[in-house]
Amino acid sequence: MKRTLGKSGIEVSALGLGCWPIGGEWKTSNGGTMRFGKIDDVESIKAIQRAVDLGVNFFDTADIYGRGHSEILLGKALKGIRNKVVIATKFGYSFDEVTKEDKGINYSSEYIKKACIDSLRRLNTDYIDLYQLHLWEIPLEDAKGVFNTLEDLKKEGLIRSYGWSTDHPQCIDFLIKNTNAVAIQHQFNILINADKILKICNDYNIASINRSPLGMGLLSGKFNKDTVISKDDIRGNNIDWMIYFKDGKPNYIFLEKLDKVREILTSNGRTLAQGALAYLWAKSEKTIPIPGFTSIKQVEENAKAMEFGPLKKNEVEEIETIIGERISIV
């Protein structure tokens, strides 16, 4: 299965991989550490290389993931095969690469150029295929300068295309009307109503890059009502935007909804995760889900979803009827 990154003409696999989890630990504002699951760098590199073997050529990361570590691992894993893959990364959060401490948001022209050069170094490449603003919202009067800077980077050959990781309606409206962006990265899974964003992507030939396609792991089927998440795992903390896990446990309402559509998602031999990905592909030809991973096993399961392809239209309709009102992020 193949997709195209909007107007860029860049062809990618219908499934990408999200590289946040492999970034490892980072420091929090209170001096503690946080992570997204347990990782092993050697396993992470092997998982990326296995993904390429299985036909996955699109990898999405960000400089802030592991405060540079995710990009470094991706660069190591893709050494010697850079021309076979498409790399997307993001900018907007400044940090100290050595101490892993956060330094706040920054989207000045000078900082964007520096962040780009730093990402190129860590990724061990001389160009980035898709460079994305990582901030959910910025004042629209500032956005023009950001995207003018991205145009400059494109002219210099440092990036091939650009986009915005946001679900914010006004930001998306600005993006499609005032820039040459080729992608919107937004939250989307069977629990999320992203129909408005999907329509925009279809109407304006914009790639829909889907973060949290498996609900940060909730839709994989490996969690139940008795699961307790460690407090040093980001899913075990009561973070405002964390809707899939609360008080160190999976959201029981979501688990109940998942159980009700389990039979549809696992039809034709699919696993739950494969069915959840198939739903996204069925919703639009612009969708490119980017599930996170920490192991070769996860990569193999998710990549195999491409062999099954999208769900049927009637299956999508049945899922949405059973789930009922889906959450609207915007």
More confident call, 242 vs 273: 273
Cα–Cα distance measured from residue 12 to residue 212, given in angstroms and rounded to the nearest whole number: 19
Locate 69 and state its tokens: 């570590």
pTM: predicted TM-score of the whole model, two decimal places: 0.95
Question: What average pLDDT does this structure show over 25-33?
Answer: 66
- pLDDT above 80: residue 37: no
Per the annotation, the verdict on 65 as an active-site residue is yes
Catalytic residue among 65, 93, 131, 162: 65
Task: Tell me the C-alpha to C-alpha distance, in Å, between residue 107 and each of 10, 121, 134, 153.
Answer: 26, 19, 10, 14
- pLDDT above 80: residue 31: no
pLDDT at 231: 77
More confident call, 103 vs 25: 103
Which stretch of 136-140, 210-214, 224-228 has the lowest confidence by average pLDDT?
224-228
Per DSSP, 135 falls in state -
Cα–Cα distance measured from residue 211 to residue 18, given in angstroms and rounded to the nearest whole number: 8
Q: Is 207 left (phi over 0), alpha (psi -120 to 50) or beta?
A: beta
- Does 3.30.300.10 match the CATH number of domain 2-323? no
pLDDT at 34: 66
User: Could you tell me the residue ranges of all domains in the chain?
Assistant: 2-323
Which pLDDT tens digit goes with each residue over 278-298?
999 999 999 999 999 999 999
Tell me if 207 sits within 8 A of 214, measured CB to CB.
Answer: no
| Long-range pairs for 150-155: beta carbons < 8 A, 24 or more residues apart | 150/112, 150/179, 151/180, 152/113, 153/112, 153/113, 153/116
pLDDT at 313: 96
Give the chain's mean pLDDT.
93
Which stretch of 16-30, 39-53, 103-117, 139-153 has the lowest confidence by average pLDDT?
16-30
pLDDT at 70: 96
pLDDT at 119: 98
Q: Is 138 helix (H, G, I), strand (E, B) or coil?
A: coil
- pLDDT above 70: residue 17: yes
Q: What confidence category does residue 121 fall into, taking pLDDT thresholds of 50, 70 and 90?
A: very high
